[in-house]
Amino acid sequence: MTRKLAVFRLIHETNSFSVDPGTKERFRECEWGHGPAAAEEHRGTETEIGAVFDFLDIHKDWEASFFRMASANPCGDIPEDFFVEIRDELMSDLACSAWDGIFLSLHGAAAMEGGRSCELELVRAIRAAYPEVPLAATMDLHANIDPELIGLLDISVGYKTHPHVDMRVVGAAALRHLLAMFRGEIRPTSAIAKLPLLLPSVNMRTTEAGPMHDVVAQAQLRAVQEGALDITIYGGFPYGDCTMAGASVTVLTDNDQPLADRLAAEIGQVLWDHRGRFFLNMPSMAQVLATVTADTAFPIAIVDNADNPGSGGGGDTPEQLRSLLAAELPWKAAFCFLHDPQLVQIARQAGLGATIHARMGGQKTSAYGTPVEAEVEVVKLVDDCTYNNSGPQNHGLITHHGPTAVLRKGNLSIVVTSVCCGISDPEFYAMHDIRFDETRILAAKAKNHFRAAMAPLFQQIFDVDEPGPASYDFTRLPFKHVLRELYENVKIGR
């Protein structure tokens, strides 16, 4: 007998301070497909949907119906009418058949206007309609989880790595538990410890010594020692101004609620005890540039966390670029990137070799700085910057930046894109003739995902904090729903 699995994907990390709302247009820029053809793009990729294809290849008695496949680069709140459209479409899709399991690839930090959880309201609707069907979800390490969500899901498993290179592994684990539940081999029981704590994500890397590495390692050891099916540390996403903001720990056990409750409390205490280690002293761009000399071991990267598109930045803040131009660097350098479709078109109309007067950055809002003005030369035009990710982050997925332009001022190359999308793969730089055997300094709007593929190319990577919608200093941000006590539990190390 063939078993039926429903599969749905909604990946959105809401930055409530972003100038770009989470509209359908933002999803269409990234991923907005429906059905088998949309899902097929994930076959063989290091993603949760890639894991679904692996599952189907192994378990021939199961077939999957792929519904909406949706993801957007982090941006603002999802308008309520758009969320309702997504939810109602899924409920209509689910009504077409009976299901033996439902698998959700979620982020966990999608919020609507008013600070409400999209994932919670979506799962409420599914659970109300299908109270007995095994329901599994995967979530990002940066999920802002409402405790009610864990109670509604039978199985929840989150990423254990940052940069996130274990998405396929996590998807496989969730599907394995779903199958075991369907067969009656396990009876999932869950618990969550929700901490009153807003943590900066810049120091959540698990690839090197640090607080998240240490807490995750301890949690995984305890899971093995105690026989838990899963323990996930969720650092949370601090730029989502929502009612479920903050760090948490979830535990999944087999028919052992007391164990789940105890481990959630114990590992939650471990995370709380490490809270002070997450906060760093973050220099400005100008301060880092002032330390660079001819004796510096090149190449180096300087990444501006506050306008990182992967955290909801709009690729438009100007202060990092302003500092670069003011430094009049004697070495070859590159700035990646500005999101400015109009400037790309101006460069294309002017043509290669032309000199244009450019107003750069500060176009979407002046809240983070006014535009930088300069005479620049158009040195490269790319008709369609599209490539297959070769690095471990989203390996195998296609990334689109639209038409792009490279402008030059002195020794500095400035890349301008038509689509605001994080740049964390070597293919992007190769397409714009940025070679790190020649380029001494790369300034990027990026954060931790940048390191997954790019770290081996640099002698050192510096994190800086400039004004922006994902500022390290939470006191700069106009929270409405997050209580100040959540981020004042720890003094920000500035």
pLDDT in tens, 425-471: 889 999 999 999 999 999 999 887 888 888 899 999 999 989 999 88
User: Residue 489: its pLDDT value, please?
Assistant: 58
Among 55, 129, 47, smallest CA distance to 87 is for 129
Backbone angles phi, psi at 408, to 5 degrees: -130, 135
Q: 479 vs 198, 238, 239, 245, CA distance in Å?
A: 12, 10, 9, 11
User: Residue 131: its pLDDT value, please?
Assistant: 97
CATH no. of 3-278 = 3.40.50.2300
Maximum C-alpha span of the chain: 70
**413-435 b/e (C-beta count within 10 Å ≥ 16 → b):** bbbbbbbbbbbbbbbbbebbebe
pLDDT in tens, 153-183: 999 999 999 999 999 999 999 999 999 999 9
Distance CA 292, CA 287 (A): 9
Q: Give this prediction's pTM.
A: 0.84
The residue extents of the domains of the chain are 3-278, 285-471
Q: Answer yes or no: is pLDDT of 67 > 90.
A: yes
pLDDT in tens, 330-352: 999 999 999 999 999 999 999 99
User: Residue 493: its pLDDT value, please?
Assistant: 39
User: Residue 398: its pLDDT value, please?
Assistant: 85
pLDDT in tens, 261-306: 999 999 999 999 999 999 888 899 999 999 999 999 999 999 999 9
Q: Render 399-410 in DSSP notation, one character per residue.
A: EEEEEEEEEEET
